[in-house]
Chains A and B, each alone.
Chain A
Amino acid sequence: MTYADDRSRPGFWRIVRRGAIAGVVCIGAAAYLLSAVGDRRIDALRSTVTDFFEPALTTLSGPMRSGNSALSDVGGFLDVYEHNRKLREDIVSLSKWREIALRLEAENAELRSLNRVTLAPRFDYITAQVIGNSDGTFNHSITINAGRSQGVRAGTVVMDGTSVIGRVISLGENAARVLLITDSASRIPAQLEPDETRALLIGDNTALPKLKFISKPGAVQSGQRVVTSNHGGVFPKGLPLGLVSDVVEGAARIKLTANLRQLEFVRLVIERQDLTIDPDAVLVIEEPRHKKPNADKAQTADEME
């Protein structure tokens, strides 16, 4: 049966149809208004439905990911020469950084052993699988298969392994929605290293989010590292975001260090509430071994340095 004009239908069905239209318009408009003002019931509806479809999304995402990775493999095979050349370049530059890292690690270990202070780990991590994503038209978000029952909280920071990619905005029992930092609704307090210039990272649905409200606009340079700052208390301090790629008057564009082209698993950063210093730790201040008379003040100054 196809469409026919309402006038050709019997009275009862005409009323049913008109009632259905009015009902759907009312439901749609009410849902839109409540969603626009951020009503909690709408959030609860979203969480419940996402939770309900979580097994289906997990099952479907497996073959889709396999297909996509097979296509990427074919693409990678075609670019093998270029990849090889890039890898050689990377090895050369990374070997320099390896030396620096080893030196710093040794220095760090030495200082730790001198202090004998053990801090309890500051963060707990949960690994989750990406099971769904927005189509990229109006918003940038992903769905993960971890929720309240795994210890995830609203606002939990999400990383791709090394860098921040977003935060949890909607939470179900076994699934959560993550707003990516490229989304136009995303605002992240950030700071530039090394001088800790404060700024706000604002997403605009592009791959290069903007850095605005920079506290020292003249000090921003291309290639500077951008990390999270804990202003506002949502993000822990010092998590990597990206590098300044382009500086325009009063604003900059950031090239994200997170790899959003290949996002299968994410790491959720849960900040520990019970942060304590290990009770067994003892801060040892070594006694000066050769104390010279009349040189106490100079010795103390040297130690301080």
Chain B
Amino acid sequence: MKLAGGQFLRLPLLILGCVASSLLGAVAIGVAPPFLLWPRFALMLAFHILGAASFGIEMLLILAVGLLQDILLGNVIGSGVLALLAGHALFRGTIASLKKSGVPGYFLLFVPFLIVVLTIEWVLSSLAGLMILPTDGLIWQIVVTSVIYLAVMSIWSGYRHWRRSRYSARARLS
């Protein structure tokens, strides 16, 4: 079995995407917690990457996304990596099978993936701090990230549909 060259060509782009989404999740917008709840963009990207990458590349990406998120967001370092690993182990087969499904299919799988990843992070953070952290933040983060994910996916799907119809119209004309 040969390894597709595209996998390695895509790797720098994927790492760049991981870094950009982690930075976007940690950038200041002029409001500080507790009045701020900013979505986890990196988890949205990780969800899609886990379904597309293989041959150990996904492990590299899990490490990059998890560590960067933990460092930039001030979480317990390592908790994000372990949570993403658990999410990957539980959902990897299902994510891969979603390739042909539309936005609702992705959304219905993203929500449980998010719940699993964030709950594990919550448990690990609570254990590290030797206290039970409030669940309000956890619940709101799941809601906010899910809603933003749905919006992003709808926009992306609409854009792809528009592009496809434009190309087919051109092809018909030519």
Given that A20-B59, A31-B81, A132-B27 are known contacts, is A137 also in contact with B32, CB under 8 Å in the complex?
A: no
Q: Is the CB of A13 within 8 A of B55?
A: yes
Q: Is B108 interfacial (CB-CB < 8 Å)?
A: no
Across the interface, A35 reaches (CB within 8 A) one of B24, B25, B77, namely B77
Distance in angstroms between the alpha carbons of A36 and B40 in the assembled complex: 22
Is the CB–CB distance between A142 and B32 below 8 Å? yes
Q: Closest residue of chain A to B1, judged by CB?
A: A10
Range of interface residues on B (Cβ < 8 Å): 35 or more
B134 touches A261 (CB 8 A): no
Q: Quick one: CB contact mask for B139-160 with A, threshold 8 Å, 1 for yes?
A: 0110000000000000000000
Q: Cβ of B24: which chain A residues have Cβ within 8 Å of it? A: 60
Contact of B33 among A29, A46, A134, A264 (CB under 8 A): A134
Q: Does B44 sit within 8 A of A, measured CB to CB? A: no
A239 touches B (CB below 8 Å): no
Q: Counting CB contacts under 8 A, is A228 at the interface?
A: no
Chain B residues numbered 48-67 whose CB sits less than 8 Å from any CB in chain A: 51-52, 54-56, 59-60, 62-63, 66-67
Mark B residues whose CB is within 8 Å of A.
1, 3-4, 6-7, 23-40, 51-52, 54-56, 59-60, 62-63, 66-68, 70-79, 81-82, 85, 92-93, 96, 99, 118, 121-122, 124-125, 127-129, 131, 133-134, 136-138, 140-141
Given contacts A29-B78, A68-B30, 15 further A-B contacts (CB under 8 A): A10-B1, A16-B56, A24-B59, A25-B85, A28-B81, A32-B81, A33-B78, A61-B28, A64-B28, A132-B27, A133-B36, A135-B141, A180-B33, A185-B129, A205-B33
Q: Which residues of A approach B to under 8 Å, CB–CB?
A: 1-4, 8-10, 13, 16-17, 19-21, 23-25, 27-36, 42, 45-46, 49-50, 53, 56-57, 60-61, 64-65, 67-69, 130-143, 165, 177, 180, 182-185, 204-207, 260-264
